Amino acid sequence: QQPVQSPQAVILREGEDAVINCSSSKALYSVHWYRQKHGEAPVFLMILLKGGEQKGHDKISASFNEKKQQSSLYLTASQLSYSGTYFCGTEIIGTSYGKLTFGQGTILTVHP
Amino acid sequence: EAGVTQSPTHLIKTRGQQATLRCSPISGHTSVYWYQQALGLGLQFLLWYDEGEERNRGNFPPRFSGRQFPNYSSELNVNALELEDSALYLCASSLGGVTGVSQPQHFGDGTRLSIL
């Protein structure tokens, strides 16, 4: 039931773009995205609800393809502060709201 | 606005002992979630409390238990500690989660539990 994230790791130069994918084998209520820096708590980025919406925040946006149960996180013009591990958390239809099943994480490293 | 606070920051126990971890949610949040993050692994859902009730539970043995108090703070209890319980335990809070609308979860800094 754990969603699969790809790639496992990505290395960028400042200003480059990246896409992180999250794929589930189960039908989903929602997808949540978090970023965790080493030794710190995960920080909420955005939530996408069933309905195929797309959201954006500054230069970070995401989409949710309900038919494919896939979500993608788009980071444009990356900054050094984007470095960290990105997790997607999924709420699976058939279980109750609130129980997030997280992917294994994608390590993003941005170099100057 | 104060974020989610957890105590203690670090906890060292030996096998067979019992551990109690505490969490205070963001003011106004009624839901509290507990996650285990073992070294090199992702976040594993443990428990979800809302309005004092246990709403959902992850695939963990019964020796992992908890409760939520009337002020919405929560504690996680782990009995008969085993070496593999060594992990970072994260608490998160959100607005009420039983309304049927997914809510963002905001995490605390965690309690590092080490079993010797």
In chain B the domains, ranked by start, together with CATH numbers, are: 5-98 (2.60.40.10)
Chain A: residue nearest B94 by CA? A98
Locus of tokens 């908890």: B66
Across chain B, mean pLDDT equals 92
- CA A62, chain centre distance (Å): 8
Asked if A99 and B50 come within 8 Å (Cβ–Cβ), the reply is no
Bridge partners of A95, per DSSP, are: A93
Q: What is the pLDDT of residue A53?
A: 64
Residue-level pLDDT at A13: 96
Instruction: Give pLDDT, residue A23.
Output: 97
Q: What is the pLDDT of residue B101?
A: 63
- Which residue is it, tokens 């994230």? A5
pLDDT the model gives residue B30 = 92
- Comparing B102 with A60, which gets the higher pLDDT? A60
Task: Retrieve residue A86's tokens.
Answer: 């990105």
B102, B107, B109: which to substitute to probe chain A, counting the most A Cβ within 10 Å? B102
Taking alpha carbons only, the member of B52, B53, B32 closest to residue B108 is B32
Query: Which of B41, B100, B105 has its CB closest to that of A100?
Result: B105
CB pairs under 8 A between A and B: 69
Contacts of B51 in chain A (CB under 8 A): none
Q: How far is CA A112 from CA A12, A52, A81, A86, A109, in A?
A: 9, 35, 11, 20, 10
Instruction: Categorize the per-residue pLDDT at B104 as very low, low, confident or very high, splitting at 50, 70 and 90.
Output: confident
Q: Other CB atoms closer than 10 Å to residue B109's CB: what's the count?
A: 17
Percent of chain B's residues with pLDDT above 70: 95
Q: Up-side HSE of residue A71: CA atoms within 13 Å toward CB?
A: 36
- Residue range B35-48: average pLDDT? 90
Contact B33 A101 (CB under 8 A): no
From A47, which residue of chain B is nearest by alpha-carbon distance? B104
Mean pLDDT (whole number) for A3-20: 96
Q: With an 8 Å Cβ cutoff, is A49 touching chain B?
A: yes
How far apart are alpha carbons B50 and B67 in whole angstroms? 10
- Residue A52 has a pLDDT of 60
Predicted pLDDT at B103: 83
Going from N- to C-terminal start, the domains of chain A cover 4-111
What percent of chain A clears pLDDT 90, i.e. is strictly above it? 64
Report the share of chain B in percent with pLDDT over 90: 82
Give B82→chain A minimum CA distance, Å: 23
> Mapping DSSP to helix (H, G, I), strand (E, B) and coil, where does residue B84 land?
helix
Q: Which residues contact A26 (CB under 8 A, 6 or more apart)?
A: A1, A69, A90, A92, A93, A94
pLDDT at B100 over 80: no
The predicted-structure confidence for A27-80, as pLDDT tens digits, reads as follows: 888 899 999 998 899 999 988 987 766 666 678 999 998 889 999 999 999 999
Alpha carbons B52 and B62: distance in angstroms, whole number: 18
Whole-number percent of chain A with pLDDT over 70: 91
Q: Which CATH class is domain A4-111?
A: mainly beta
Distance from CA of B2 to the nearest CA of A (A): 15
Q: What is the DSSP letter of A79?
A: -
Residues of B in contact with A51 (CB under 8 A): none
Tokens read off for B41: 């692994």
Nearest to B31 by CA among A102, A98, A88, A33: A98
- Partners of A30 on chain B (C-beta within 8 Å) are 102
The backbone torsions φ and ψ at residue B8, rounded to the nearest 5 degrees and listed phi first, read -75, 175
* Interval B71-94: pLDDT, tens: 999 999 999 999 999 999 999 999
Most confident of A54-68, A81-95, B18-32: B18-32
